[in-house]
Structure 1
Amino acid sequence: MHIKSITIDGFKSYGQRVDIKGFDPLFNAITGLNGSGKSNILDSICFVLGISNLQQVRAVNLQDLVYKNGQAGITKATVSITFDNRDSRQKPVGYEHYDEFTITRQVVVGGRNKYLINGVTATSNRVQDLFGSVQLNVNNPHFLIMQGRITKVLNMKPPEILAMIEEAAGTRMYESKKQVAQRTIEKKEAKLAELDSVLNEEITPTLNKLKEERQAYLDYTKVSRELDHLTKLYVAWQYVQTEELSRNSKEKLEKTQATVQQSKASVEELQAKAKEMGEVIAAMERKKDLVRIVEKSVKKMGHLNALRGTEDDALREGGDSGRYDDYQLDLSAMIPIRPSVTGSD
């Protein structure tokens, strides 16, 4: 991008419209007599580029840039610069599809000014962004080398000239930014080292401890769940065992009760048999007594028979028969007993 033409109207010494053309893409020189307006052409370029230090264009305020301060009937100053934009390496951002574009700046008496891009009103910031995108900064202190500084520049040492060129080209700004960025990086690295130290000495051990505690808690909760599960299983097993034991005990109780009933029945049966046996024994005792009586009676009968025999002998011999009669009476008394004994059998 380079200047293709300049149109000046009412700016400083140019009271009438002037078109300046034929600029070279690489090098241009303005020549002429003293007072012919050579410096004002450079001032007009700086005016459009947005110079902020008006002392460099020999003015106190913007109104000083109007032809004769507006006292000659001209109330505004207008400068338009048309840029050749065919070089694809230097196209401003947003204007890559334009082969040329025109920037216009206008100031009126009173100090009000405005910018136009291709005839459309634009803000100062937008214009500065456009020039900034191609590293064009008129406010750089080394962008312009005025007449009084030429000798000083010629006497500069190579490093100083390089620094001036870098600053004029805009690369010095990036170098400064680079240094600032490097210092920022160093601070960040120091901060990162500090953070690493804190991380390794404090946070990591704490984190490891928390991990261990977390694992211990997980193990505890796992064991607690297993214990709870086993407890429930044990309670359920106890319940089943109790139910089974109760059922078995109930069955045993029922069997025992049945056995008791059977035993009771057996006891009653035995008691009945014992009673019956008692009665039999009593009957046998009675029979035994009867037998003894009978035996006694038999003995008496034998004795009686013996007496009878003796009596017979006595009778035959003429003796007393009274004792025989007494024994006969006793035998008659025992005769009724025999039928009752026979009946008891």
Structure 2
Amino acid sequence: MLSTSIYMNHKGMHRGSITGLVLDSTFSAVVGPNGSGKSNVIDAMLFVFGKRAKQMRLNKVSELIHNSTNHQNLDSAAVSVHFQDITDKDDGTYEAVPGSDFAITRVAFRDNSSKYYINDRASNFTEVTKLLKGKGVDLDNNRFLILQGEVEQISLMKPKAQGSHDEGFLEYLEDIIGTNKYVEKIDESFKELEALNEKRSGVVQMVKLAEKERESLEGVKNEAEAYMLKELSMLKWQEKASKLASENNANELEKLRENVQSLEENVKTERKKIKASTETLKELEDLHMKYMKKQEELDRGLRHCKDEFKEFERQDLKYREDFKHLKQKIKKIDDKLDKDSTKIADITRECEESQNLIPQLEEGIPKLQKLLVDEEKNLEEIKENSKGT
């Protein structure tokens, strides 16, 4: 709580008796007969609190400077208001807080200018306003000081303002106690409440629609679950089939490899025979040339030689046919070997694809199960929210 005392100089104010009447621990009144100086006390306070001259029944602040026979040509007039923090006691008395004293002084000069001082230190109205506001004295609204003429105005106020630019007794009291600052917040809260109610209605409708949609999707969910179980069973059977096919392909591959090895050995044997036949043919040709040279000398053995020659020619033809046949057979074996190699590669690729497909399908199963669990959780949350609303 803040106590106040006033000190004025260069102005006479003792024409009557003034009484300070304490009506409450937070409310005091200045009373006295007409001409006792009540208005001077109030004007002095208004002067320190920064009011203009018109508000103090003056034309200009220089009129506050005292002018009499004994005090002529004074340069200034000053008013000091002393403040002190006090603590109320239960017995109705109070106790001053040590070190809480401070004084605010305003000095008026002949040129209608004025200066402020806080504890004899030069200051300004902004600093004074800030200091007093921290002590609970709001100079901006000026609800802490009620003048004599304002009492009748307050008593004639309407209970409540009729318009946005009007002020009633309710608004006046709210301004005094400081609750008017909550009016805008209350209006905003009402608007927010209306918006939330509208939003709630929309959410309730959405919940009802979601429940209907959930009921309509229950059959689809059951079908999806049955389909997933069948799909899982099919994948397992496909895995088994792939394993069996892989084993069968491995056996076939082993047989083909053995067959290829046998064919390669046959090719080697035939090539050796062809080589031997080629060497024999060359020897026969050499021998034929030798007999041709000795033809004239071997007239008696000509027929025999011709027969042998024919026999050699027959054998040569046979060998040539056999050689040609072997070439064709070798070509067929090479073609078959290429086809078998291609078939082996295709079978190996199919086996690898089957093995790669199985882990991918197995990885998809947990994701689908997690998706199903998440959907059930979302459904439960919608149920809980609908119960809460």
Please give the range of the TM-score, normalised by the shorter of the 2 chains: 0.3 to 0.5
TM-score, L = length of structure 1: 0.46
| Higher-Rg member (1/2) | 1
